[in-house]
Amino acid sequence: MAPDPEETQEVDLGGLVFDACGQEDYETAERILRSGMIYVLHQIDESSPDMPDLEDEDAEAEFNVVVAEADGVIAIMCFTALEHVDAFLDSISEELPEDFEIPVVGMDGNTLIDGLPDDMGLLVNAGTELECFFPPGVWAGSEGAEPEDAESEGEEE
């Protein structure tokens, strides 16, 4: 039996991530992010004017994601659905030159979290009602990291 096309549509995990973040349940948030497709914005500048071929393992081009400052630290901006990307880009469209396009790259959540530098946070769904911020070190060590290994703000013993 063929799968129902409605069942195979991409699911927006933003609400689940937002809820887990609000509860400071970083382990659940990590599991959710790792289970889905995540979208990042490719930063275009003189050093990276074109999108690199992400399929070409020998490609020398650098891939630069758009970052923002959140809670005083630099964070990689990512989105859980293309509709959130569109909403964010619409919200900043007046700040961009006319006809300026920012390339959007989809990747699995494992790739994003495993590649997240230890000193960077993660800003999910910026500019939307589901915006949430994960500080640096929440999932340091990436794959298999336990939340107890990360520093937790406000935790008293």
Torsion of CA 64, 70, 73, 79, to 10 degrees: -30
Note down pLDDT in tens along the chain; length 157 residues: 544 544 445 667 999 999 999 999 999 999 999 999 999 998 765 554 444 444 555 544 455 888 889 889 999 999 999 999 999 988 887 887 777 778 899 999 999 999 899 899 999 999 999 999 999 988 755 444 443 333 333 334 3
Q: What would the two tokens of residue 102 be? A: 């920012």
**CB neighbours of residue 32 within 10 Å:** 21
Q: Give residues with Cβ within 8 angstroms of 19, minimum separation 6.
A: none
Closest CA to 114 of 76, 149, 152: 76
* Residue at 78: amino acid letter: C
User: Where exactly are the structural domains of the chain?
Assistant: 14-46+63-139
Question: What pTM value is reported for the model?
Answer: 0.72
Q: Which of 154, 156, 145, 155 is nearest to 26 (CA)?
A: 145
With beta carbons less than 8 A apart as the criterion, state whether 9 and 81 touch: no
Is CATH 3.40.1350.90 correct for 14-46+63-139?
A: yes
Q: Helices 14-22 and 26-34, interaxial angle, to 10°?
A: 160
Residue 122's φ and ψ, nearest 5 degrees, are -130, 120
Distance CA 107, CA 40 (A): 8
Closest C-alpha among 59, 19, 10, 1 to residue 39: 10
